[in-house]
Structure 1
Amino acid sequence: MALNKPGFWLAGLAATFVGNGIGRFAYITLMPALIQANWFSKEDAAQLGVATLIGYLLGPIFIQRAIKRISNTVLVRCGMILCSLSYLACSFPDMSFVWFYSWRFLAGFGGAILMVLAAPMILPHVPTNQRGRVAGVIFSGIGLDAALAGLLIPLMVNIHIIFAWLAMGITCAVLGTSKE
């Protein structure tokens, strides 16, 4: 299938949905519940957000070096896997702060890979007259997940915080298994 087919546009949307949407916005929505349930203090919950940001900042440096040896496709798959594993790993409430910090860092790192590589991997293969539309589809994953996180994370937390983490991890895994 050629990259200018809608399935690849949706793969790009999935990458931004996972990389920035779930990685950042869903965690922000989850933070108050983590604090209220005594998983973390306010300071520790904020530090986990910092861990994600550090991953986002270091991810592009890694990409710049790795892209010479590893294909974009492999890097994007690795980004999806890192994000998925990070959310699944955070569903274990009795782990150390270092455990959570490491996995939140990896969520940011994987998210950076997805945000940096999704559009450049797809857009060169799209006809010039459709690139604006396709870029819009790709980057709409960020806003789409921000809205969904605000709506769904509180509902998931009402079931259980562990359920919310698992739902994010499973969503990332499902979106990352695209055959496109």
Structure 2
Amino acid sequence: MKKQSFLFLIGGILSLIIAMGIGRFAYTPILPLMQKDLSFSNTVAGYIASSNYAGYLLGAILGGALPLKKYRVIILKISLIISILTTALMGLTYSHFLWYVLRFLSGVSSAYVLVLASGIVLDKLAVISKTSWSGLFYGGVGLGIFLSSLFIPTLNRLFQWEGTWIGLAIVSGILASFVWIWLDEAPNDLEMKNKQEIFALVPPTKWLLWLTIAYGLEGLGYIVTGTFIVSIAEKTSYFQKDATLVWMMVGLAAIPSCLIWSVLSKKCGHVKSLVLAMALQSLGMAMPAFWISKTSFIISALLFGATFMGITTLATTLGRHMNPSNSSRTIGILTAIYAFGQLIGPILAGVLSSFTHNFTTALIGASSVVLIGAGMLLNGIQFEKKSKGILISK
């Protein structure tokens, strides 16, 4: 049982590597390579990014709203196939319109994978009383970012940016074969879930509104750094040849981050941990706007990597604990508002940077938005203080 559960978890991690770490986020380090070769503007780059987030928004809404519980493993696997195909096709066309379409479809599939894989894996971990493993699961996104940043420089050197997309799709295809074998859902998992699960006392369900708005602001702010940090670094004298290093630092920090934030949330509370993570992220995002150096970019990348998936872990876990009877729907709603923020962020940042000829204003604005979101969560700490010692979480 232990080996089977471990392989199941690895299957979940691999699905996030494919759809999120590669399918969704590989655009960030490949973007400067494409711009260098094809010379399109930051505004166009922002539109391509936002088309992905528009798809992500649609996927999150559908993933949370449609009754997919019986078929979620099948739909997850179909979504992975779409993610791999859209990644490959990005390297086979030079049409802006087709890029918009491909990134949109990639966004839909990555949202489905995140929402469905989160529901499948978190439910299974609850059944086997291993909810603490959720941090390992969400670490798959960071691992995907790190792996893609290892492959990208070599693939680009050998096959240019076109071959980089195709090469990453081939890697994804190989990883997907293991997801097919290991990620499966036993019929009795769902029945056992409610019997074996005890949740920590969390803020009341009505507080979900505060969490949802703050998470939407996080989506709006974080995505500016998430989309443009490599392009910004590449335009400085410090990273002209190795800007992918910045993205590698993001991935490296992201791998253990979810586990660290999960442990911290058990000791200090989910809301407190979420506020701290968003405040640290805000600091890291603003850093390159005020201090341009190799060190500032590395620190910014590490702080960003250490928090962006940690925030997702904390927010989705907290939301799920507040509404355990329908985890996929709650995660879907949170992911949808987060995706709506992401949809707007790159367009605003792209237009602002084209207007001001730098990213300073966009970075400061994005950092401020995340800090406001953190401030909105402060009123939730009181519930954790009240609940301390009343209920024991498994």
What SS does the corresponding residue of 2:56 show, helix, strand or coil?
A: helix
- The answer to whether the 8 Å contact 2:19/2:109 transfers is yes
Q: Which runs of 5+ in 2 are unaligned?
A: 183-394
Residue 67 to residue 168, structure 1, CA distance change in 2 (3 Å) = farther
Partner of 1:28: 28
Distance 1:11 1:168 in 2: 18
Q: Return closer, same or farther for 1:116/1:54 CA change in 2, 3 Å cut-off.
A: same
Residues 1-180 of structure 1 mapped to structure 2, 5 A cutoff: 5-38=5-38, 40-68=40-68, 71-94=71-94, 96-126=95-125, 127-133=127-133, 135-159=134-158, 160-177=160-177, 178-180=180-182
**TM-score between the two structures when normalised by the length of structure 1:** 0.87
Q: 1:47 is aligned with what amino acid?
A: Y
Distance 1:122 1:35 in 2: 38
Q: 1:41 to 1:17 in 2, by over 3 A?
A: same
Find the residue that maps to 1:98 and give its secondary structure: helix
| Shift in Å, 1:167 | 1.5
TM-score by length of 2: 0.42
Q: How many residues align?
A: 178
Could you list the runs of 5+ residues in structure 1 that have no partner in the other structure? none
Contact kept, 8 Å, 2:59 with 2:109, in 1: the verdict is yes
Pair 3,41 (structure 1): closer, same or farther in 2 beyond 3 Å: farther
- Does the residue aligned with 2:23 lie in a helix, a strand or coil? helix
CA contact (8 A) 2:79 2:113 kept: yes
Runs of 4+ aligned structure 1 residues displaced above 6 Å come to: none
Are the aligned partners of 1:30 and 1:154 in contact in 2 as well (CA < 8 Å)? no
- The higher-RCO structure (CA 8 Å, 6+ apart) is 1
- Cα deviation, 1:110-157, whole Å, max 9, x if unaligned, reads 110111111211232235542212x12211111112223333322321
- Give me the identity figure in percent: 25
Deviation at 1:79, TM superposition (A): 1.3
Q: Pairwise CA RMSD of aligned residues?
A: 2.3
Instruction: Report the equivalent of 2:316.
Output: none
The 1:179/1:165 distance shift into structure 2, 3 A limit, reads: same
- Secondary structure at 1:67's aligned position in 2? coil
State which drifts further: 154-163 or 26-35: 154-163
Deviations along 1:47-79, one digit per CA (max 9) or x if unpaired, are 111111111111011223443486001111111
State the alpha-carbon separation in 2 of the partners of residues 11 and 41 from structure 1.
38
Kept in 2, the 8 Å contact 1:84–1:172? The answer is yes
The separation in 1 between residues aligned to 2:17 and 2:84, in whole angstroms, is 12
Could you tell which deviates more after superposition, 32-41 or 67-76?
A: 67-76
Q: Distance in 1 between matches of 2:119 and 2:65?
A: 16
Q: Contact (CA 8 Å) 2:148, 2:168: kept in 1 or not?
A: no
Letter in structure 2 aligned against 1:119: S
Q: Against the structure 1 CA distance between its residues 2 and 151, is the aligned structure 2 distance closer, same or farther, given a 3 Å change threshold? A: closer
* Higher mean displacement: 1-10 or 41-50: 1-10
Q: Deviations over 1:7-31 (max 9, x none)?
A: 1111110111122211332110000
Q: Please give the alpha-carbon distance, in whole angstroms, between the structure 2 residues aligned to 1:152 and 1:7.
A: 25
- CA shift in 2, pair 1:167/1:39, >3 Å: farther
Contact between 2:12 and 2:137, CA under 8 Å: does it hold in 1? yes
* Separation in structure 2 between the aligned mates of residue 43 and residue 155 of structure 1, nearest angstrom: 28
